[in-house]
């Protein structure tokens, strides 16, 4: 951990203890998972992120912020099937959802990470990251 992040973590924990927040909760509030793609590519306030894991063709999606929005991965697959995956579980715990994509052996995906509305299934386009292409092999 670099000196700046260490100082931020220590100051956050110190402030939390001063106001009575348990240190474990204060540290969790400062934790953000930055996947291969992050909503709006804003790595300082990453509300949602995703990573493609080649072994087993898994897409991991994290909800990093309790903001009332779900995290959505949208894009294209080489086999023509739709790619629209959601994490609507919220940011409780580690905030991660694992989707098994079962891509063809030499397949690929092109995806971006966005915020969305779970009830209406709408994607909030201005929150989307840039696209990233990953090969399954």
CATH number of 90's domain: 2.60.40
Say what the pLDDT of residue 26 is: 37
Same domain, 127 and 82: yes
Same domain, 62 and 112: yes
Reading the chain (137 residues) residue by residue, the pLDDT tens digits are: 434 433 334 343 333 334 343 343 333 344 567 788 999 866 667 999 999 999 999 999 999 998 899 999 999 999 999 999 999 888 877 889 999 999 998 999 999 999 999 899 999 999 999 999 999 98
Same domain, 23 and 40: no
Same domain, 94 and 125: yes
Structure tokens at 65: 């912020």
Same domain, 72 and 107: yes
Between the CA of residue 102 and those of 55, 66, 82, 119, 125, what are the distances in Å?
10, 30, 13, 27, 27
C-alpha–C-alpha distance, residues 3 and 94, integer Å:
25
| CB-CB contact of 12 with 25 (8 Å) | no
Same domain, 37 and 10: no
| CB-CB contact of 114 with 127 (8 Å) | yes
C-alpha–C-alpha distance, residues 83 and 108, integer Å:
11
Which of these, 58, 36, 31, 59, lies nearest to 49 by C-alpha position? 36
Kindly report the pTM of this predicted structure. 0.73
> Residue 77 is part of which domain span?
33-135
| CB-CB contact of 114 with 74 (8 Å) | yes
Same domain, 61 and 46: yes
Same domain, 69 and 97: yes
How many domains in the chain? Answer: 2
């Amino acid at each position: 951990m670099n000196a700046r992040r260490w100082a931020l973590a220590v100051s956050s924990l110190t402030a939390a203890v001063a106001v009575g927040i348990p240190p474990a909760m204060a540290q969790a509030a400062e934790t953000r998972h930055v996947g291969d793609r992050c909503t709006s590519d804003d790595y300082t306030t990453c509300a949602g992120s995703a990573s493609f894991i080649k072994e087993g063709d898994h897409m991991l999606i994290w909800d990093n912020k309790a903001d009332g929005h779900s995290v959505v991965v949208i894009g294209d697959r080489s086999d023509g099937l739709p790619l629209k995956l959601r994490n609507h579980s919220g940011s409780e715990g580690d905030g991660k959802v694992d989707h098994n994509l079962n891509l063809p052996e030499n397949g690929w995906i092109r995806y971006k990470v966005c915020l969305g509305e779970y009830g209406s299934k709408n994607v909030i386009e201005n929150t989307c990251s840039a696209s990233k292409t990953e090969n399954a092999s």
